[in-house]
Amino acid sequence: MACLDPPRGAYLTYVIQGLILLSAVSSVTTGRYFLGFLAGVTFILALVPAVVQRNTPLCLPWEVHFLIAVSLYLHIMGHVGDYYVTFAPYYDKLAHFVASITVALLSISLAALAEHQGLVRLTRPALAVFVLVSTLAAGVVWEIYEFVVDQALGTGLQLGNTDTMLDLIVDFIGAAIISGIVAFAPESSLKLQFTGKLDEISPDLEPGSMQGGAPDPVESR
C-alpha cells in the first residue's frame, strides 16, 4: 500500500536534496568532475529511501527522511566546499553526530517493521541495546571504509588514531541519546512515531503475515 501524502515538513527534505543536486552541478561547471560525480551519486542515494518506501509497507517518519538527506548533504559538502578542512575538526564531528542519530532512528524503524511482521519482539531494554549496537556497528564499518580508501587511493580521510577514536565517540554519543529516549520515552509516544504508522498506513498488513501458515481459527471467527 502506498504511503499517505507527505506532511509539509517533508518538503524540507526536497530542499536538501535540491541542494545536493546543486552541489553536483556546480562541481561539474567548475571543472571538478570527480566531485561532481560523487555529488551525483550522493543525490541518488538521497532518493533511495523514497524509492524503497514505495515497495515496502514501512513508511518512515518524514523526520527520518530529512535526517538522511541532511547527513548526505553534510558529507558531500565537506568535500565540495572543503568544509572538512576549513572547519576541522568540528565539521567532521557534526557530520558524524547527525549520521549517528539518523542510523539510530533507522534501526528503530527496522525493529518496528520486524515486530509488526511478527518476526521478532524486543523488550524496551533490548530495543535500546539494539539501537546502540547497530549505530556503533555502522560507525565502525564507516571507519573501515575510510581506512580502505586511504590505503587504496592515498587519500586522507582519516587523520590518525585520535581522529578515528573521536569519530567513534561522537557516534556513541548520538546512539546513546536515541537509546536513552527509547529506554525512557512513553510507550505510546514511541509507537505513535513508528509502529503506529505501520498500523495507520498498512492496515491490511497484519502482524505475522510474513510467517506463513494457516490463520488461527480462533481469530478467524
- DSSP secondary structure of 70-121: HHHHHHHHHHHS-HHHHTTTHHHHHHHHHHHHHHHHHHHHHHHHHHHTTS--
* pTM, full prediction: 0.81
Predicted local distance difference test score (pLDDT) of residue 9? 78
The domain spans of the chain are: 9-81, 84-203
Predicted local distance difference test score (pLDDT) of residue 50? 84
Query: Of 57, 7, 56, nearest to 200 (Cα)?
Result: 57
Q: For residue 37, give the C-alpha cell.
A: 560525480
Predicted local distance difference test score (pLDDT) of residue 187? 58
Element (H, E) at 199: helix 195-201
Say how far apart CA 202 and CA 188 lie, in whole Å. Answer: 19
Q: For the chain, how big is the Rg over CA atoms in Å?
A: 20
Say how far apart CA 191 and CA 170 lie, in whole Å. Answer: 27
Q: Residues of the chain whose pLDDT is less than 70?
A: 1-6, 56-58, 186-221
Predicted local distance difference test score (pLDDT) of residue 170? 97
Predicted local distance difference test score (pLDDT) of residue 53? 76
Query: Of 4, 2, 9, nearest to 51 (Cα)?
Result: 2
For 46, phi then psi, to 5°, come to -65, -25
Predicted local distance difference test score (pLDDT) of residue 155? 85
Query: Of 103, 74, 220, 94, nearest to 166 (Cα)?
Result: 94
Burial readout 83-113 (b: 16 or more C-beta within 10 A, e: otherwise)? bbeeeeeebbbebbbbbbbbbbbbbbbbbbb
Q: Is there a contact between 174 and 101 (Cβ–Cβ < 8 Å)?
A: yes
pLDDT per residue as tens digits for the range 15-65: 999 999 999 999 999 999 999 999 999 999 999 988 877 776 667 788 889
